[in-house]
């Protein structure tokens, strides 16, 4: 089955903070699998949603060997494992990539990427939600990013843009040139509706 790929970046393109972004994100489908990774992760970590069997964020095979392996050789590559969300009326929220304002930093745009516009607000997170629909269920995206992809089973996969206010977050400086943390989120241990990745900046000032 042909690989179906969507590239996107979290970005602010208007106002006094125009030009800051968290770029290089990719979501693609092939066979019955959905994959998620980013340039931020430097090819080291990848999230894989394998049908209804194995959902995980794992170190890539290429980074388990050599002189500087990411993990010990006997360590499970899948450090974070998730239970697949259930379908409700044939649709489920499968995964979320969420960026805080602190993760955005000055950087060049990539014409291959779809810019997901972010508000210049420190207490708001911008999300890309990965949705799935069963075969025969017509997707009805509210704010689709890119195209609707199809798995081998006939299920549909698409991305939606959404945002939420997080009142408890305090204003903070934007990330420095390389200070971004990617934190896996799991409904089993965190207060989230679906597995995901949360992007926040590190201030080295």
What confidence tens digit (pLDDT) does each residue in 32-67 have?
Answer: 999 999 987 777 789 999 999 999 998 766 555 555
What confidence tens digit (pLDDT) does each residue in 140-197 have?
Answer: 888 899 999 999 999 999 999 999 998 766 666 665 545 788 899 999 999 999 999 9
Phi-psi region of 32 (alpha: psi -120 to 50; beta: other; left: phi over 0): alpha
Q: Of 20, 27, 22, 24, nearest to 6 (Cα)?
A: 27
Phi-psi region of 89 (alpha: psi -120 to 50; beta: other; left: phi over 0): left
Phi-psi region of 15 (alpha: psi -120 to 50; beta: other; left: phi over 0): left
**Cα(134)–Cα(88) distance, integer angstroms:** 10
pTM over 0.85: yes
């Amino acid at each position: 089955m042909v690989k179906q790929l969507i590239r996107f970046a979290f970005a602010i393109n208007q106002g006094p903070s125009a030009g800051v972004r968290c770029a290089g994100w990719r979501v693609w489908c092939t066979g019955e699998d959905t994959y998620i990774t980013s340039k931020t992760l430097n090819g080291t970590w990848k999230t894989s949603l394998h049908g209804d069997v194995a959902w995980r964020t794992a170190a890539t095979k290429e980074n388990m060997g050599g002189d500087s392996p990411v993990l010990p050789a006997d360590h499970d590559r899948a450090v974070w494992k998730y239970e697949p969300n259930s379908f409700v009326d044939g649709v489920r929220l499968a995964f979320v990539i969420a960026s805080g304002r602190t993760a955005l930093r000055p950087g060049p745009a990539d014409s291959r990427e779809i810019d997901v516009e972010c508000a210049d607000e420190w207490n708001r997170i911008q999300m890309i939600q990965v949705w799935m629909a069963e075969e025969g269920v017509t997707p009805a995206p509210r704010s689709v990013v890119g195209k609707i992809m199809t798995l081998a089973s006939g299920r549909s996969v698409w991305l939606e843009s959404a945002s939420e206010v997080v009142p408890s977050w305090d204003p903070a400086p934007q990330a420095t040139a390389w200070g971004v943390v990617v934190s896996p989120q799991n409904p089993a241990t965190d207060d989230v509706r679906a597995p995901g990745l949360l992007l926040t900046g590190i201030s080295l000032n």
